[in-house]
Structure 1
């Protein structure tokens, strides 16, 4: 099996090939490392590649599987970690000059779970500086495998690019206002922001502790479910039929919406109807207030986290990162408190909407991947996150899946939102939609 086929199989299929003896984790890990060496100069997806550690982990996985010691679906599967996640003995830079040489002494909880599951970590993926929405010049932008002249998204763009290009089988990202789902949409992936608190983020550098989530990026919802299971130690596989399900459309239109995105979304809704689902328009009050509320929560929390460095090492930040952090000091306490109150009210509005539908759906982003990702405090940045940010404020599980392609051949994401703690249902709906949309064989231009 050549790389173009092997490195795009699903996680379950890869595991079956391991357990039948047709493939070995060492062989697959070597092929991933060779592909990283060949393609990453164009993608800039990785900050640190841990080749020696990956081969050691792969060799151990191979030995254990042959001996009948099976750690589960991620055993021997090459993955990657966003470079905000602490890895003992391996630098964790947060894509910032400030932490350029930082080497944690302890693994993040996520990493401990993944190690226990037998996953093979290929390295640390590029991201916007401290997840603040813009790349630091020292590290640069991660590029999109569907068109390397465009961004793969922020801030988990390195993770998304690595998965989409077949450099790894899945990757961990973080999401504070859309930073898993936006790159997933741009790169044609499944990207889940889980229910708030489901994934332990201890050892993940915070952007905004009351909004931060960590979750999986994968080439299918089924693979995302397996990675989420390894990250948490819980199962998330659930078979779901679209027949008889009721979906509520929200945020179909609005500022910046590209006609090609609307066309793909509408066609996806038609496919859902053809599969036996009911698709109706749904109103959720208060969505026009979300962008302001998100910033009123996020910016002061980020400013508190960075206060010491802003006072002593401000010139080491990218200019826009520094400006965004400094904006947080100017947010009045009353504004912050009112935004927190708004979050509770907004959550009630969503829970009320779920009384009449099984899930809410929307375009994941108003446009396909742009040349550069906008700063989230700017006008374009607010529009980019308009459909993802509400679910950081509420903490609801939200998944972006590939719904099709725009006129330029670039992916368009559809977002699925379900009730709190129904992450398995959300992923199951994603799998059912992916089957209905029949896009699994599509691959990006680079490396195909």
Structure 2
């Protein structure tokens, strides 16, 4: 019988066990499904578990590996998919009443690539309704494995909870204002919002087509890189030596973080200096306008997407989701255009800073996981996303890694930002930082 501790191994470790015939994909998939059955009632991480299909895929992977047909690092590895990513013949609800019985006829491009890489999908993970930051009462909030009385984050919280609790080895999330990086911070994971356009979004239900990104959530940056390779067909392995790497700490005037987050982040900066990196403060002009710009882009685009239902099925939405969609119809076109102009200008500010720096860093979120997800259009939601939102506007790659733990034992995330199309560098820095932080990291099983 497979050892439950295997569920917290790295993807490369699992691959080595497969290829030495010490472990089979079917054994490991059964172990994951048993853990899903035991913990999902508490965590609410999965909406749909596809046990039969997962075992079929695992059986195929096992047969192929034994015959010498090796599809790569993800072959036979159990993963999960956020439930707004189309899966042929499998319900895809977007955690909404609107699509509660929706069964796509075609896989999303991401799913087709992951199938070709031999990954085993355990099912569809919970999310906020249509990724709008509000849990529909029919589905509920996903809970944090470190403390189930707290949220795992919106809107990719189900994916984050599943990975952090050892239900799967990695999961796909989406990010429009921080929805990969915020759950990664709350759950002690590595979560990457890739360069805009790197991951094909065909078959992923949109929230805001000019801001949406899909990306990996995993327990380490190395595992996140492997999932991203499966999602894109490209390689993201890059070794980074921190000696001489130039980091800029992003300052946001008037914005503070909770003391326990500040302590962890300051310790992380000191650890970087001790590893030979250069760390300096940097000001990015215009950040105070980023939140308003995001709403002026996101809400009208979301309203246009939901115009097909909001008129005759308004009562099927969660009340706050409906309110946010309706807000989009009231934003003037001129405001939307000016926000798009601001995006181009803000991107220039970040690129100017990165001309003399290798990466920019900041806390991912101002606090550790709260008891419930704040509404992203409210005051608390604006604070939650004020360090993640700018990078959706610019489209630059941004990675959250676990930098340590607060006084209450909850994870604290550190966010890394690099130049466009330098996702491999961003992930390589993440791997190097995780090695530096290893003494205070627990990249395992939550509580």
Q: Give the conservation status (yes or no) of the 8 Å contact 2:8–2:445.
A: no
CA 1:233–1:442 in structure 2 vs 1: closer, same or farther (change >3 Å)?
Answer: closer
Distance 1:253 1:25 in 2: 51
Task: Tell me the equivalent position of 2:150.
Answer: 150
Q: How does 1:57-72 map to 2 (within 5 A)?
A: 57-72=57-72
- Confirm or deny: 8 A CA contact 1:261 1:368 kept in the other structure: yes
Within 5 Å, give how 1:385-396 maps onto structure 2: 385-396=385-396
SS of 2:153's partner is coil
**Structure 2: distance between partners of 1:55 and 1:177:** 35
Q: TM-score of the superposition, structure 1-length normalised?
A: 0.98
Relative to structure 1, the CA distance from residue 254 to residue 76 in structure 2 (aligned partners, 3 Å threshold; closer, same or farther) is: farther
* CA–CA distance in structure 1, aligned partners of residues 239 and 60 of structure 2: 32
Counterpart of 1:221?
221
More displaced stretch, 4-13 vs 363-372? 4-13
Q: Which residue of 2 aligns with 1:299?
A: 299
Shift of 1:400: 0.0
Structure 2 gaps of 5+ residues are: none
Q: Is the alpha carbon distance of 1:254 and 1:36 closer, same or farther for their aligned partners in structure 2, counting shifts above 3 Å?
A: farther
Deviation at 1:441, TM superposition (A): 4.0
Q: Which residue of 2 is the match for residue 358 of structure 1?
A: 358
Q: CA deviation at 1:3?
A: 4.4
Partner of 2:193: 193
Q: Where does residue 42 of structure 2 map in the other structure?
A: 42
Contact kept in structure 1, 2:61 and 2:75, CA below 8 Å: yes
The secondary structure found in structure 2 opposite 1:282 is strand
Contact 1:251–1:387 (Cα < 8 Å) also in 2: no
**Alpha-carbon distance, 1:251 to partner:** 3.4
Give the Cα–Cα distance (whole angstroms) in 2 for the partners of residues 347 and 250 of structure 1: 14
Whether 1:276 aligns to 2:276 is yes
TM-score by length of 2: 0.98
Aligned to 1:109: 109
In structure 2, relative to structure 1, the CA distance for the partners of 1:254 and 1:50 (3 Å cut) is farther
Shift of 1:442: 4.6
Q: Shift in Å at residue 381 of structure 1?
A: 0.3
Look up the SS of the partner of 1:250 in the other structure: strand
Alpha-carbon separation, structure 1, partners of 2:377 and 2:441: 35
Deviations 1:97-145 (A, max 9, x none): 0000000000000000000000000000000000000100000000000
Q: Following the alignment from structure 1 to structure 2, what is the Cα–Cα distance between the partners of residues 251 and 148?
A: 32
Secondary structure at the counterpart of residue 264 of structure 2: helix
2:421 equivalent in structure 1:
421
Tell me which residue corresponds to 1:238: 238
Structure 1 outlier segments of 4+, above 6 Å: none
CA drift at 1:297: 0.2
Matched residue SS, 1:148: strand
Mapped to 2, the partners of 1:250 and 1:228 lie a distance apart of: 26
Matches within 5 A, 1:201-216: 201-216=201-216
Whether contact under 8 Å (2:207, 2:301) holds in the other structure is: yes
Tell whether the 8 Å contact from 2:166 to 2:444 is kept in structure 1 after alignment: no
Change (3 A) 1:253 1:168: farther
How far apart in 1 are the matches of 2:214 and 2:111?
A: 12
Alpha-carbon spacing, 1:198–1:445, altered in 2? closer, same or farther (3 Å): closer
Contact 1:163–1:171 (CA under 8 A) maintained in structure 2: yes
Displacement after TM superposition at 1:255 (Å): 3.6
What is the CA–CA distance in structure 1 between the aligned matches of 2:389 and 2:115, rounded to whole Å?
A: 31
CA distance in structure 2 between the aligned counterparts of 1:256 and 1:145, rounded to whole angstroms? 27
CA offset at residue 343 of structure 1? 0.3
In structure 2, what is the Cα distance between the partners aligned to 1:262 and 1:253?
A: 15
| Whole-angstrom distance in 1 between the partners of 2:28 and 2:369 | 30
Q: Does 1:128 align with 2:128?
A: yes
SS class of match (1:97): coil
For residues 252 and 329 of structure 1, do their structure 2 counterparts lie closer, same or farther at Cα, with a shift above 3 Å needed? closer
1:5 & 1:48 partners in 2: Cα distance?
A: 25
Name the counterpart of 2:319: 319
CA contact 1:256–1:383 (8 Å) conserved in 2: no
- Computed over aligned residues only, the root mean square deviation of the Cα atoms, in angstroms, reads 1.0
Distance in 1, matches of 2:404 and 2:245, equals: 21
Shift of 1:308: 1.7
Task: Tell me the SS of whatever aligns to 1:32.
Answer: helix
1:33 aligned onto 2:38: no
